[in-house]
Amino acid sequence: MAKSGRAARARRPQSGAPASRPAQAKAKGAGKATTSAIQRLWPTPIGLHRYGGADRLHPELLEVFAQLRTAQQRQRGEKPGPFFASDDDLTERVKLDGFKDFLRFIVQSLGETVKKANGEAWAGRELDLRVGFQGMWFQCSRDGTYHDIHTHGNCSWSAAYIVQIDEPEQRVSHPVYGAANGVTRLYGPHFATLGGAFVDVGNAYLQPPHLDIEPIPGRLLLFPSWLAHKAMPYDGEKERVIISFNASIHASEGDQLHGYSAQ
């Protein structure tokens, strides 16, 4: 309170004197911590798997895909171009014996990834899982085409499986795209809020905001369907050919793991 009934005034710094700065307390010795641990909430699990039968299956798949591409472009009235996405019914159309083994590999990989991702949520319970495909298709790209940032709906997990792409040394030597040539880029959940965000060493854990997955033939990338991702521009001697799919995972006992509560 001001003395003698006069209003208190903020003092201005003298000419040439530096303005006052916000107080900064040093973390060391500033006080005792009230907690001894932190919690990392809502992790973003991804799964990386390798199909052992890729060398045998891929040449046959590429022949089938070429036939399907020609037929579907004719049916759609499309002209051949640098990008193509097939109908999402590959599980019905591909009749190769090796494709059945490939589907078993996918189901097994999904099971392994989902169990590890939900270990805490399932609280040690062993669930009898049922995998449902909500669509499976192939994509071909070249000449700098790409699939822009997007997410997938009506499923809990999505995937990108590499069938064909240039050899690593040749792919990364592209004069424009470099190491990002044809990769699948995953964007962190916080990416959309980074515009104009404050950055210091205290939130360094937010960097980098994206992760590039190296495209290797036979590699299966599994990721949550809500995770934003992008097929980066690709240019090479070979076409970039991938298989994508959406999947839902259910337990034979039912999907409800927790009781209802008013809390």
Task: Tell me which DSSP letter residue 35 carries.
Answer: -
Q: Name every residue whose Cβ is closer than 8 Å to that of residue 138 and which is 6 or more positions away in sequence.
A: 65, 68, 85, 86, 90, 163, 241, 242, 243, 244
With bands split at pLDDT 50, 70 and 90, how would you rate the model's confidence at 1?
A: very low
Q: Kindly tell me the number of DSSP H helices and DSSP E strands found in the chain.
A: 4, 10
**Residue 6 is assigned to a structural domain of this protein:** no
For residue 173, what is the domain's CATH number? 2.60.120.620
Residue 62 near residue 111 (C-beta atoms within 8 A): no
The total number of structural domains that make up the chain: 1
Model pTM above 0.95: no
Q: Is 36 domain-assigned?
A: no
Task: Quote the domain boundaries for residue 184.
Answer: 47-194+203-251
Kindly state whether residue 10 falls inside one of the protein's structural domains.
no
Per-residue pLDDT, 175: 98
Evaluate whether 110 touches 236 at the Cβ level (below 8 Å): no
66, 164 contact by CB (below 8 A): no
pLDDT band at 8 (very low <50, low <70, confident <90, very high): very low
List the alpha helices (DSSP H) in the chain.
54-76, 90-93, 97-117, 168-172
3 part of a folded domain:
no
The pLDDT tens digits for 164-204 are: 999 999 999 999 999 999 999 999 998 888 776 788 899 88
**pLDDT over 60 at 106, yes or no:** yes
> Is there a contact between 241 and 138 (Cβ–Cβ < 8 Å)?
yes
Q: Is residue 93 part of a domain?
A: yes
Would 86 be classed as within a structural domain? yes
CA distance 70 to 68: 5
Confidence class for position 236, pLDDT limits 50, 70, 90: very high
Number of Cβ within 10 Å of residue 91's Cβ equals 14
In a domain? residue 9 = no
| Whole-number average pLDDT of the chain | 89
Alpha-carbon distance of 106 to 128, in angstroms, equals 16
Q: Return the exposure string of 184-214: e unless at least 16 CB atoms fall within 10 Å of the residue's CB, then b.
A: bbbbbeebeeeeeeeeeeeeeeeeeeeeebb
Assigned domain for 57 exists: yes
